[in-house]
Amino acid sequence: MSSFDVDLFVIGGGSGGVRAARIATSYGAKVMLAEEHRMGGTCVIRGCVPKKLYVQASRFADDLEDTRGFGWSIKDAHFDFAKLKVAKDKEITRLEGLYRQTLEKNGVEIVAERATLKAPHEVLLADGRLIRARYVLVATGGAPSFPDTTPGITLAEDSNTFFEWDSLPKSLAIVGAGYIGVEFACLLQRLGVKVTLITRRDLVLPKFDHDLRQGLHDAMSASGIKIITGNDVEMISDHCGNLSLKLHGDVSLDVERVIFATGRKPNTKGLGLEALGVALDAQGGVKVDSYSKTNLDWLYAVGDVTNRVQLTPVAIREGHAFSDTVFGKRPTAVDLGPVPTAVFATPELGTCGLTEEDARKAHDVVLYRTSFRPMKATLSGHSEKVMMKILVDRPSDKVLGVHILGEGAGEMIQLVGIAMRMGATKRDFDSTLAVHPTAAEELVTMRTPVG
């Protein structure tokens, strides 16, 4: 008789943990999963999904303006944030139910409480129960990172609390210009909030291709978002019901609310990892090998808690590969390159592969780049531009990176990612027939190198 209560105990009910649990049961494993908050994790509850719904709502502001150029006359258009939040909450509740339903249908026992590691193979539940598991998977994701030393930081909010707002402020400061910062800035500005974005960098979106960064930065400024570069918040104080922000160089501003979007850190605090000797990185991320195994044979980790690539599809793939490896007896390492990704700012970004800066460090690069006004803008009168660039390795003709700025960039880069995964060359792009008239056809019609 087995000395274990379950074959697998999963700590965390987000995308990675749920996928791992479901696939493990398909191999016959007995699985228990603990989630102390809501099922679905960051992506479903307070991340990708509600964010994208808000982004889509915000873009109707541009669409309503554009209609006039196409002969439409829409009067008395009115936005009601309270109605949007109710609709968003209803959809999130539906999705959470589907996550729970899927696990239960597959025989996973769900425990709605906190779980921590007690000893090797032992998980302690908040109600005092001790569960012995043959394997434990940590899939607790990440959490917003705050600068603890900033005076008045308790007056600020993070990306999690934003999705609980019942009303919008008239003015807002967002500190940080990564994924979260620029997406929030763009959607809130279009919903009528006066937004100031503060970043220590010279442009938004560090680590992205420079041309995309510059293009988005300029578009955000043109839309009315005030961007303060090369600066940071020294202090926050309450001033007559508003928040007063003091920045470096005697710069100050008053706003109703402030969001810090200065990154996320692995959610490992209090799990009991250190006491068991689990190897962690400097940010608290769980160190794992290419099969998601820690330095302990019985303990694995997937998703943002490992501090590798913090993207939901990556967590899902890692969770699936873990179960294939451990319970399917099919060792499966996750190949994390090239990874297509999108930033749902307005305009939208889609990117896959190397940035121009990184490509030139390791390759003899041929650069193709184009910028044009999309067809819709010719009648709407909108000043938007689409920018695309392709980076090619000269000796092999292999496509190293593709970067798109403009409407539909996320959809386009998903399909480009398939081609790049297959090792597409520039000749492959050139020999593909264009779909006309589309913006995407530019990807297969760029013929003249620019660098």
Distance in angstroms (rounded) separating the CA atoms of residues 121 and 136:
7
Q: Note the Cα 354 to chain centre separation in Å.
A: 18
DSSP state, 443? G
Return all residues near 320 (Cβ < 8 A) that are at least 6 apart: 19, 20, 23, 332
Return all residues near 119 (Cβ < 8 A) that are at least 6 apart: 276
- Kindly report whether the peptide bond that precedes residue 169 is cis, defined as omega within 30 degrees of 0: no
436 catalytically annotated: yes
Contact criterion met (CB below 8 Å) for 445 and 435? no
What are the φ and ψ backbone dihedral angles of 358, each rounded to 5 degrees?
-75, -35
Neighbouring CB atoms inside 10 A of 158's CB total 17
Which of 50, 49, 21, 34 is CA-nearest to residue 140?
34
Distance in angstroms (rounded) separating the CA atoms of residues 45 and 48:
8
Contact criterion met (CB below 8 Å) for 57 and 84? yes
Q: Note the Cα 446 to chain centre separation in Å.
A: 30
Token pair belonging to 439 = 């913006």
Catalytic residue among 363, 382, 403, 436: 436
- Kindly report whether the peptide bond that precedes residue 449 is cis, defined as omega within 30 degrees of 0: no
Return all residues near 326 (Cβ < 8 A) that are at least 6 apart: 8, 24, 135, 300
Tokens 């020294």 found at: 234
Return all residues near 31 (Cβ < 8 A) that are at least 6 apart: 6, 7, 8, 9, 10, 21, 24, 25, 107, 108, 109
**Pairing status of strand 349-353 against strand 399-405:** antiparallel
DSSP state, 433? P
Residues annotated as catalytic (active site), given as ranges = 436
